Chains A and B, each alone.
Chain A
Amino acid sequence: MRFSSRVPQRAAFAAAAVAVLLPLSACGGSGGSGGSSASGSGKIDGSITFQTWNLKTGYKSYFNNLIADFEKKYPGTHVKWVDQPADNYADKLSADASGGTLPDVVNVSPDLGAPLAKAGLALDLDSDPAAAKYKKEYLPGAWQSSQVPGLKGTYAFPWYLNTGPMFYNKALFKKAGLDPNKPPLTYEQLFSDALTMAKKSGGKVATLANVPTIEDFGRYGVKIMNSKGDGFTFNEPKGVKLLSEYVKLYKAHALDPQALTATPDSAGQKFLTQAVAMNPGSALDLGHFKTQAPSLYKNIGITPQITSTGKVNMYVMGLMVNANTKQKATSIAFAHYVTDAKNQLTFAKKAAIFPSTAGTLDDPYFTKEDGTDTARVRVAAAKSLKTAVNYTPVVFSDQMKTELGNEVAKALQGKESPQAALDAAVKSCDQLLKQS
């Protein structure tokens, strides 16, 4: 049925124009321009938005008080706090960045901050005097954690650090004839103990539930990237050796058969059900063991992370200031306020995390044990943090993690040799790095 000859033609033309032009406008909508040039030394007032990553559930009152204190200290300021769920945080940041709605102060890990910095959306703290003056307040390693290869500057205030011990099941160690008071500390000891455990249990008890990740390569002493930071090198002989050892573990069922599809949650579940003997965790997990697996809790052993370099892995969280914020001075002041020594210590006492400010780890809270397992884990972790390393390069994206995971799985299944698998992983990661 035709309505008329003129109107539909016009309408069709308009619709076609909209259909063609809108996508074109969308194409040009993303990408940063490098941020505003105004200095962050202006007056601290006005409204800003502060975004955290899955912190509202457990720490609502802490952040409400923190914001109230900031607004009291700087009259005329208003901080709107938004919290995003744990899952798909990168997608949320991506959508906000593309839509120009990125909050003024954003909670990022180094790998999430790097693409934003490359797109010109993260403020370079080193080049802004108002922010650079705070540099000396933080641990040097923590400050450097948000530096991006190929870019000059630092792109986030260091916030909290985290590291955790390895938990192990003393009963399973004892059953396998291993000394429950001498858990493995290096990868060589781990491989030996794991093979013994698999042999003694007839392949029914695995020691590990996860395939090696980039952090394992780092802790084994493998060089992950070249010195320029423009290419990956984890296919070097040491990397091949590590993967070859994991292949032996997988064949002997010392590595859980479902490790190839495991997630941190599923691996934790395996440990809870005592199907695997060791699993990484944090002080928070002790509470879970106590309530969800009392029989495991009775036999829980706590040991430092497995490392052959003597340095454990640490995770770093930061607060990025949006380069395009209209309230640069207020945003810098707030990001510093949240991450200063006093507030980091307060937050650390509420959550199982560690401060990144210089000297705070010397507080008795992190150096003195009180006889509880929680304090023992905390003190040991704080001690290890003094030399800890973030082994994951900031440019190592989720896609790269998937490429490495897939190639590792092929090697474990015997579809490829460890050398061929790592060569393929490095090739894919290099290609992704060039495209990023």
Chain B
Amino acid sequence: MSSPTARPATAAGPVAGAGAGREAGARPASGRRFGSRPPGGRSAAPRARRHLPSTPWLFAAPGLVIVCAFVLYPFVSTLVDSFTDRRALVAGHWVGLANFTEMLHDDAFWIGLRNSALYMVVVVPALVVLPLLLALLVHKKIPGIGFFRSAFYTPVVASIVVVGLIWVWMLDDRGLINSVLEAVGIGKVGFLSDQWLLLLSAMFVTVWKGLGYYMIIYLSALANVPRELHEAASVDGAGAFRRFLTVTVPAVRSTMVLVGALSSVAAFKVFSEVYVMAGPKGGPAGEDTTLVMLVERTGTGLTGRVGYASAISVVVFVITLGLMLLVLRADRKEDA
């Protein structure tokens, strides 16, 4: 409501102007007159009362209360705590940047940062490319394709704890996979005892479980790719691979950016898969601990260091925010 002409002389505020202004013959900024109204002042007065300045705030109030209580307050509280030495049962004192400087010398923090970053580097490309290929496979309208779509989506709705435990049983020294490897002469592989294999196994489970979710996003994007483009490319002699690169990929590029952003944030904040597969200690000697696991381990329990855990949380937040901004910026550059 940027036009001052829409502001009524007597009405209670600019929001009311939407109605009162129209009564006075004013036009909205777009210049298009809204629906006709019966003439006369009788109907205008109650209408103006219904559009008090506080009306939008009243509508927004339930949402605002929820956001303030469950998003804003915990966020600000975490931010404040990160500058204190607060513990689970002891009120904290202001310690300035002490928690952040301690982090620089904390091996556990660097291990967590390394693992979270590695997780992102490996998982994100897989989750950007593989679901697209899967979506292309199930995009075709052939009999029975619904079954495959459902099958690929099933891991998404399964509990991560259940999924993790199933993979733990399969990857165990005496599990299905090692039995097969032993039978074919390769011998046992320490999927759950080697620090790197354990992390890779957790990454595999994340990718396996996430494929269906991102596949659905790609399917909706593929549905919007004009068929004529493919037909024109075919007429011009482009093969399937070339059509994929020159038609499909550019058409779903913004979806790929979205998937990249979503999966990178999720991968950097990974917790459940590693916790279930590597155990609460975070793998052998805690070498598979991720940053979020470190927050959980440091800040919980009766002796939890809430202040220090909050400081790690703030670092995780800053990094994930940075990742999102980077992805958005890269997308804008491409658009330009």
Contact = CB atoms under 8 A, between A and B. Distances in A.
Interface in A232-263: 256-258, 260-263
Interface residues of A, number: 57
Contact-residue size bin, chain B (C-beta under 8 Å from the other chain): 35 or more
**Most chain B beta-carbon contacts within 10 A, residue among A2, A18, A26, A406:** A406
A26 B87 CA distance: 12
B87 A93 contact: no
B148 interface: no
B302 A406 contact: no
Contacts of B285: 260, 406-407, 409-410, 413, 415
Contacts of B89: 30-32, 94, 97-98, 115-116, 118-119, 121
Interface string B68-86: 1000110011011100111
A258 B302 contact: no
Contact of A27 (B13, B86, B193): B86
Contact of B279 (A118, A263, A413): A263
A281 B222 CA distance: 57
B14 A432 contact: no
A94 B90 CA distance: 11
A115 B88 CA distance: 9
Contacts of B174: 273, 275
A103 to B, nearest CB: 15
Contacts of A399: 297-298, 301, 303-304
Interface stretch (B53-61, B118-126, B152-160, B255-263): B53-61
Interface stretch (A3-11, A150-158, A293-301, A345-353): A3-11
B48 to A, nearest CB: 15
Contacts of A97: 88-89, 302
A28 B91 contact: yes
Interface string B135-166: 00000000000000000000000000000000
A397 interface: yes
A262 B297 CA distance: 17
Given A4-B53, A15-B68, A406-B281, A116 B14 contact: no
Contacts of B85: 435
B279 A261 contact: yes
A18 to B, nearest CB: 7
A257 B1 CA distance: 69
A435 B302 contact: no
A112 B73 CA distance: 29
Nearest to A405: B281
A112 B80 contact: no
B291 interface: no
B54 A7 contact: yes
Interface string B99-137: 000000000000000000000000000000000000000
Give the secondary structure class of B's interface: loop
Interface in B204-230: none
Given A23-B73, A23-B81, A261-B278, A397 B192 contact: no
B91 A19 contact: no
A436 B173 contact: no
A86 interface: no
A179 interface: no
Contact of B91 (A4, A29, A116, A260): A29
B280 interface: yes
Contact of B301 (A29, A90, A119, A256): A90
B53 A7 contact: yes
Nearest to A113: B302
A3 B15 CA distance: 6
Nearest to B194: A257
Given A91-B300, A405-B281, A3 B81 contact: no
Nearest to A20: B76
B13 A4 contact: yes
Contacts of B14: 2-4
Contacts of B239: none
Interface string B7-25: 0000001110000000000
Interface in B282-331: 283-286, 297-298, 300-305
A27 B56 contact: no
B76 A262 contact: no
Contacts of B252: none
A256 B301 CA distance: 29
Contacts of A402: 281, 286, 297
Given A402-B286, A406-B286, A23 B80 contact: yes
B88 A11 contact: no
Given A93-B302, A397-B303, A26 B77 contact: yes
Given A98-B88, A258-B172, A413-B285, 5 more contacts: A91-B300, A93-B302, A116-B89, A275-B174, A436-B87
23 contacts: A3-B13, A3-B56, A7-B57, A18-B73, A27-B92, A28-B91, A31-B90, A32-B89, A93-B302, A94-B302, A97-B302, A256-B173, A261-B193, A261-B279, A262-B279, A273-B174, A402-B281, A407-B285, A409-B286, A413-B285, A432-B303, A435-B87, A435-B305
Which 10 A-B pairs have CB atoms at the shortest separation, nearest pair first? A409-B285, A260-B284, A119-B89, A115-B302, A23-B77, A406-B286, A397-B303, A23-B80, A90-B301, A261-B279
Interface of B: 1, 13-15, 53-54, 56-57, 68, 72-73, 76-77, 79-81, 84-92, 172-174, 190, 192-193, 198, 278-281, 283-286, 297-298, 300-305
